[in-house]
Amino acid sequence: MNALRRIWEHFEEGFIAFLLAAMTLVTFVYVVLNNLYTVFYSLGDNWPAASEPAFAIGDGIMGMAQAMTWSSSLTKALFGWLIFFGLSYGVRTAGHIGVDALVKLASKPVQRFIGVIACLCCLTYAGLLAVASYEWINTLMIAQIGAEDLGHFGIMQWHIGLIVPVGFALVFIRFAEILVRILMNRQTGLGLADEAAEAIKLTEHEEDKP
């Protein structure tokens, strides 16, 4: 079980890194192509002897840039996947903003009680959105509508939107794990980030540096 958990966590981190890299690469290539052809046009204007091949290369690069009209849609799709896939990762790594300063002033039993209530609220929210978004995706699957600027590649709208129910299902699983840990007295709250504690640790680390 622990091995499967480690495999999944490594996959989670690797997939997020892949989405970030793909977004960066697509945007980088598109920007380069949109600026590179002007270099060859300028070269052709300033160097008549090489004007013909320079203009030909410039035309070719411009054609590739114009053909990448799908890049913006793909980047938005990847960003959407990054957001919804990263929801559960944020829960696991305590990456969300912690606002439990007042809760920590209470006793441990009270903290656990509040943690259980908060977990149940989060589970209800994630569960409702997972079910609702699944019904939405099911409707898109029946309609078979192509994605904007990506439909000619065979990418449908439901392919992109599928991450919404998947993302909320993963969030549901993460909060269910937290609830189990709270009930087993292995933690008292949601485990969200404590900015004050992190700031103190960072300050102490900086002061310890020579």
In tens, the pLDDT along 94-136 reads 655 455 555 666 777 888 888 889 889 999 999 999 999 999 9
Q: pLDDT digit string (tens) for 27-67?
A: 999 999 988 888 888 888 788 777 888 888 888 988 888 88
Residue partners of 55: CB distance under 8 A and separation at least 6: 40, 41, 44
Q: 19-44 burial, b if ≥16 CB within 10 A, otherwise e?
A: beeebeebeeebeebbeebeebbebb
Per-residue pLDDT tens over the stretch 66-91: 888 899 999 999 999 999 998 888 88
CA distance 42 to 36: 10
Instruction: Please name which of 131, 125, 139, 142 lies closest in space to residue 164, comparing C-alpha atoms.
Output: 131
Residue 152 is predicted with a pLDDT of: 86
Provide the whole-model pTM. 0.78
State the Cα–Cα distance between residues 9 and 14, nearest whole angstrom: 9
Share the mean pLDDT of the chain. 83
Radius of gyration of the chain (CA): 25
| Tokens, residue 87 | 């929801």
Q: Any idea what the Cα angle at residue 83 is, between residues 81 and 87, rounded to 5°?
A: 115
More confident residue, 49 or 196: 49
Q: Looking at residue 88, what is its pLDDT?
A: 86
